[in-house]
Structure 1
């Protein structure tokens, strides 16, 4: 039977499997993610994370990250924090570690339940662009924090048109072919409140680490917040984002928050019916 653990990073939940012996073939991973992440029919999660042997000498392990729809993503902030805590608890890596992602090497530090993760260098920051949608035109900002993120500022986070505009922006030709994640953000005092329509999940998620970083960088570049800034997720937990800005844009981005073990167990063969691992 296949062993796994379930972890939550501020409301984003993930299935983690130590695939250090590569028992799960790379070609089987997307189907495995779709099967296991389906809520009500299997374990249920926002994504699947496989920890595998590193290919670079400076890394303790490599990861493969899959969204619930089976698509593979380069980076996920909350998933990265969960992967770091899982790796430390399972003895795969020390408390201060380096691991490989599709977006590059990532450094992390595990401090009990809290994990501080160095994000990959952000790129393609653009501010206050116009975007024509089906029935309206909006202003948006954009930054790639390991994966692409649109940031739309709103006055009331509870009334953000996420269900209406999230899919339109996510699949807009402007961001093809890969598409984009979409974040609606509101500033209340010195805190950022955020709601995210997540690519691959195709719905609102309770938290998104790379989205929290994108929100902080956009509002930081516009002079509305300074580092470190607290980002309040839809699930109610608080992420802390550290960053620096210079003439060339944002850099040295860190994401900190709780990565919580929920449970661990073994999958019965019937849960993998039809899959060839």
Structure 2
């Protein structure tokens, strides 16, 4: 079966967006479809957008086919798509697996309120945990290489005692953060992608929340990742993240096949980039 999708990214965090308002997929195995499409098009996840009683909805599946409750950059991409395609207002709500979220489009910037940080705990001096729609461990230290973040992230993500201690035996996302002149920098090893991603919205929110507590700095905080920067601020008790999103093009996926090589969309941009001037 062929599936039409839109390839998008938020700070390099890449997704295929499947519009089920136009092309519903009732009864289909979205986990299997998601794994196939993400592999074919080299994306971090698959977004399924729809409407429920006239209200926008979003579901997010990781690259490996696991359904998640939340994805910050995925929600920002879905927000941009809904605003450009179906919604007439710049401020509206989207129903997610982590509840209803208020979202805002302001010219090139898209901001989403992830809600309050939950279940914070200090594990040790440099290791903290917080839930921002999905579980995140935050490791405080100095600048870390991509290779080291990948290796250490995998170890912590699979540390059974750590995951059980914070109440998520299925695994935790791991963020390595350090101070910068503008705020913080981070590298995030994501569950479901099983690698360090260009950016992670919920990870940026979790990292900024922990940084504010540990470093004694006030929100808003600029969180810099490999793919660009997100501004994290306090919005009526919730953590809001804002930054750019981008369309990469329309693509066709095949639900029953997995290709070793990505099928590139028209007008495709390589995903290993950083926004100039950020």
TM-score, normalised relative to structure 1: 0.84
Partner of 1:111: 106
The 8 Å contact of residues 160 and 184 in structure 1, kept in 2 or not, is answered as no
Residue-by-residue CA offset, 1:246-267 (whole Å, 9 max, x unaligned): xxxxx32110000111112444
Q: Give the RMSD, CA atoms, in angstroms.
A: 2.2
The 8 Å contact of residues 212 and 218 in structure 2, kept in 1 or not, is answered as yes
Residue-by-residue CA offset, 1:117-166 (whole Å, 9 max, x unaligned): 11122101112x24xxxxxxx84101000000000011123378312321
TM-score, normalised relative to structure 2: 0.84
CA shift in 2, pair 1:185/1:2, >3 Å = same
User: What secondary structure, in the 3-state scheme, does the structure 1 residue paired with 2:230 have?
Assistant: strand
Partner of 2:46: 48
The 8 Å contact of residues 109 and 244 in structure 2, kept in 1 or not, is answered as yes
1:260 equivalent among 246, 255, 264: 246
1:273 equivalent among 248, 256, 268: 256
Alignment of 1:210-221 (within 5 A): 210-221=202-213
1:75 paired with 2:77, answer no
| Unmatched segments (≥5 aa) in structure 2 | 259-278
| Unmatched segments (≥5 aa) in structure 1 | 131-137, 246-250
Partner of 1:169: 156
CA shift in 2, pair 1:184/1:274, >3 Å = closer
User: What secondary structure, in the 3-state scheme, does the structure 2 residue paired with 1:156 have?
Assistant: coil
1:240 paired with 2:235, answer no
Q: Which has the higher contact order (CA 8 A, sep 6+)?
A: 2
> May I ask how many residue pairs the two structures share in their alignment?
252
Structure 1 distance, partners of 2:182, 2:252, is: 44
